[in-house]
Structure 1
């Protein structure tokens, strides 16, 4: 009778350990399926993207593939090879590498990409945002370094349960991610308002679509980051934080690809006047726009094409004729 009471008391403890790990990995796999579809759409439609954009996309997809494989190895180690062994559930195995190190690298890359977009929007709205971009970069890098340090310590300790130092490092990572996402969203809203107030033409309608998707997806990642932060703060000695944190990296990568693939719908909506072209982002003579320095942008002329062909356009006036956003 006493053995039955002991086993019944251990069931909730096992559930507290196994449920976050199992649900986190399963949801991670589901989002990887979405990412594969997004990656296929991007690879099929944007072969002429600039090299650094394609390098970013392919690198993130590779890292996410490695992370998905390692999370599957974690699941096998905990629930197959370690079935019935509660002590094995406390061992981190590969989770410290795929959860904290790879997750932080992916989130850092995506946030730096949106910092670049904020910089381009600052040019459009004629409001420089250099210091805001620097602040977001510092926050993102600080959080990534904290997560990498936490992952290294966790690999060395080979334990999932967080100690005081790991709690501080993981809290720093998730808190800076949350703050960075909020700053990115606020900057997008600010620059969108300035551009829209200045000139509410068709090109800005395309800009609205880009910025709105960025804001919506950043709000999703911000919400999940807040959930992870609350779980670490309220339950520092439990593994509840693993469930939303496993999902967080895939949300960042899907956010990046969804933002890039959104150009397809913009092209369909503004087909004749707001097409997707390849041109250099900065205002330079068109003859210097080489294939190696091209970015995919939304381009719209402010006059009908017939008029532009009749009137010679000075190279210094290209900026006045073109609205662009990466």
Structure 2
């Protein structure tokens, strides 16, 4: 996030308290590479996201070290700009754009390739990255925080586009999944779980972007918003890894739902009364209707096939190849 404002106290202690999230990212990345069998393009995406996130963390560490250790007690230096503080904006933007492109691809498949929806999302995603890039290039010419006040408009634009992009992506996923309901208990239960999962994985990034935007508007002469901005990229990293690592768990949960393949549904035979209305009676002979349903889960590796019941969850909701269920 762009930095601008007066020479106020820099809240490094606040922002650095959030850096414990990086340990969660590392654990999730380790779990992904040791437990998931995805195709090379997904593994490359995860590797690239972890690389940019690690560089981002290194840049923040260097910035904090420069202000708090190298220049300990040098109050005048607090008004000076450290180059790594500006460069981290670019790597934060790279992490964000990669994860949002992954989510946009998922929406593209789920929405049956609705071009107008993807155009809106792509404009927001690349608009935010473009502003980040422009801010980084321009800000590297400055030497003090006071000079960054001229980039107030870019700062607000970055936060506004980030918040808007997250909200549109989360709303699109929830709407598409909700419209995919079929009326079958098993299928609708799976969809409900996916909706909740989509909201949970996108909630933190949306709230963090909004908090950064609100803090800039409410306290324009402080650096409070930096505490939130430092976390945005890392939250996107965790969102991506959580989405990929949760696929197997969601399928296992769906297998435990009561309506499974080959269930026998016992119905009372129906007769007609004298007035022609259909009636049912326990004394009448039961009719056993066997419902055979089958679904195929084509996982990202293309090797795992499962059987169960009934609904097209969406092409590539969790990434990779399309996943189908048929009723």
Alignment of 1:60-209 (within 5 A): 60-93=49-82, 94-98=84-88, 100-123=89-112, 128-161=113-146, 163-196=148-181, 198-209=182-193
Cα separation, partners in 2 of 1:298 and 1:206, compared to 1, 3 Å: farther
1:270 aligns with 2:272: no
Distance 1:297 1:158 in 2: 56
Asked if structure 2 preserves the Cα contact closer than 8 Å seen for 1:92 and 1:155, the reply is: no
Using the TM superposition, name which of 160-169 and 186-195 deviates more: 160-169
Q: Which residue of 1 aligns with 2:27?
A: 37
Aligned residue for 1:159, secondary structure, equals coil
Higher share in helix? 1
Cα separation, partners in 2 of 1:76 and 1:195, compared to 1, 3 Å: same
Distance 2:125 2:307 in 1: 33
Asked if structure 1 preserves the Cα contact closer than 8 Å seen for 2:297 and 2:325, the reply is: no
Q: Which residue of 2 aligns with 1:21?
A: 12
Q: Which residue of 2 aligns with 1:323?
A: 325
Distance 1:188 1:134 in 2: 15
Alignment of 1:201-220 (within 5 A): 201-220=185-204
Asked if structure 1 preserves the Cα contact closer than 8 Å seen for 2:255 and 2:308, the reply is: no
Aligned residue for 1:84, secondary structure, equals coil
Residue by residue, what CA displacement relative to the aligned partner does 1:105-141 show, whole Å, maximum 9, x if unpaired? 1111111111111122213xxxx53211111111111
Distance 1:133 1:176 in 2: 15
Asked if structure 1 preserves the Cα contact closer than 8 Å seen for 2:131 and 2:154, the reply is: yes
Alignment of 1:284-295 (within 5 A): none
Asked if structure 1 preserves the Cα contact closer than 8 Å seen for 2:159 and 2:212, the reply is: yes
Structure 1 residue 38: Cα displacement: 0.9
Q: How many residues align?
A: 271
For structure 1, the 5+ residue unaligned runs are 1-12, 280-290, 304-320
Structure 1 residue 40: Cα displacement: 1.0
Structure 1 residue 53: Cα displacement: 1.1
Aligned residue for 1:323, secondary structure, equals strand
Distance 1:254 1:188 in 2: 18
Aligned residue for 1:83, secondary structure, equals coil
Cα separation, partners in 2 of 1:188 and 1:200, compared to 1, 3 Å: farther
Distance 1:185 1:297 in 2: 28
Cα separation, partners in 2 of 1:23 and 1:297, compared to 1, 3 Å: farther
1:248 aligns with 2:235: no
Cα separation, partners in 2 of 1:209 and 1:161, compared to 1, 3 Å: farther
For structure 2, the 5+ residue unaligned runs are 1-5, 261-294, 311-322
Cα separation, partners in 2 of 1:275 and 1:323, compared to 1, 3 Å: closer
Residue by residue, what CA displacement relative to the aligned partner does 1:60-79 show, whole Å, maximum 9, x if unpaired? 00111111111111111000
Task: Report which of the two structures shows the higher radius of gyration computed on alpha carbons.
Answer: 2
Root-mean-square deviation over aligned CA pairs = 2.7
